Amino acid sequence: MNSLVKEFSDLTLERFLRYVRYWTSSDRSIEKTPSSEGQWELAKALMDELKALGINDITLTDNCYLVARIPASAGKEDSPVIGFLAHLDTSSDVSGKDVKPVLIESYDGRPINLNGGMVLDPSVDSGLASHKGKAIVHCDGTTLLGADDKAGIAAIMGAAEYLVNHPEIKRGAVEIIFTPDEETGKGLPHFPLSLLKSKACYTLDGGQLGELEIECFNAWGVNVEFTGKSMHLGTSRGTMVNAALMAAVYAGMLPRSESPESTDGYYGYYCPLEIQGDIEKAKLDVFIRDFKKDGAERRLAALESFGKAVEAQFPGGKVTLNAKIHYLNMKEKILLKPQVLEKLREAYVNLEIEIHEMPVRGGTDGACLTEMGIPTPNVFTGGRNYHSRLEWLSVEEMAAASSLVVELVKLWA
């Protein structure tokens, strides 16, 4: 490990191990922002930490958006303001309560046995295999780890401390943005855009070293409601309409070949997330994802046709769809401001990081911020196997992400 990576490892690792212990799982069934109290706890802790670094231009909004600004160096007040963004919450797909991170300072290259019979196996995880002799952090198998996106938070906070401690580095003003409820797919409701001065921003919410992402899905959430008719089961022939069965039949119409587990690359999908109900009322939540708008629109039309088909099978039943845009593909608007990408690619080259440009098979708050007028590509943090009990983090790659933040600050100044 070279001296620079070692320095940034020291700035990020302890923070990461501390941040993942905050229970910040978000809840997409709750409309308010933030959807969990733990996000408040982490946001307030980060605000205190920023103040301790001597950063005083800080706002924590009523909806848990944290925006801080490191002032420009003398003579650089007119340099463009740039921002760095990460999200406070973790996915609710796997428990994020009582996370017990396990640090291995020099991984020996052998399988790692976790609780519940789960195994981190380098024979099936090439990224893990490549980390023999390096420091990694993994979860114990009872929860996720939370590298998505606490590795991004740690990288930004480590870079902030580095910049404060190295006033000789000339910089324009730097904005630090931490957002709630990214994992719920809400987008950025209540985002305090008027607080930002950034001309460009970068999310730290990616995976392996070198990832650079400027395009993402067009994302929709669809709530499908089924209305049936309840009758006594003993006398229900020809009269009862079972909404729970309607929901099950509808879910079975979603193409298995167009599901998350059956697609990769630029292929979109339908994903049923949750189904619940009884004879009178049932509900199915479906995510639609596609890199092209017309592909997303085709899937929306298909969901409408599935509803009509179910109504035909269940006379007297009713299927109602409520669709909402979560975020749109950010590529087109990022390309309108080529300097944002030019600086990013230059930073990778300067740090001798090989660029792996790829689409985000998901979304980031950067897509929403881009839609609001601030181009926001996404970069790596060093995490792997997000949203799972097999999640792990490369300490060296998280440190590299932190050094990338500093390099971007230098280039923009």
Name the residues annotated as catalytic.
89, 182
The encoded tokens of residue 170 equal 């000339």
Radius of gyration of the chain (CA): 23
Alpha helices (runs of H) in 99-216, residue ranges in sequence order: 126-129, 147-165
Contact between 318 and 356 under an 8 Å Cβ cutoff? The reply is no
The encoded tokens of residue 300 equal 């929306």
Question: How far is Cα 208 from Cα 204, in angstroms, rounded to an integer?
Answer: 11
Q: What angle do CA 335, 338, 341 make, to 5 degrees?
A: 95
CA 17 vs CA 8, 189, 262: distances in Å: 14, 29, 34
The encoded tokens of residue 322 equal 């409520």
**What's phi and psi for 14, nearest 5 deg?**
-60, -40
Question: How far is Cα 232 from Cα 185, in angstroms, rounded to an integer?
Answer: 40
Q: Between helices 3-19 and 147-165, what is the axis angle to 10°?
A: 130
> Which residues make beta-bridge pairs with 290?
218
The encoded tokens of residue 59 equal 């706002």
Q: How far is CA 253 from the centre of its chain?
A: 29
The encoded tokens of residue 28 equal 């997409």
E strand residue ranges, 3-149: 57-60, 66-70, 82-87, 102-104, 112-113, 119-120, 136-138
**In this structure, how many other beta carbons lie within 10 angstroms of the beta carbon of residue 280?**
15
E strand residue ranges, 205-361: 211-213, 218-227, 269-277, 281-290, 318-327, 356-357
> Which residues make beta-bridge pairs with 360?
216
Beta-carbon contacts of 233 under 8 Å, excluding residues fewer than 6 positions away, are 240
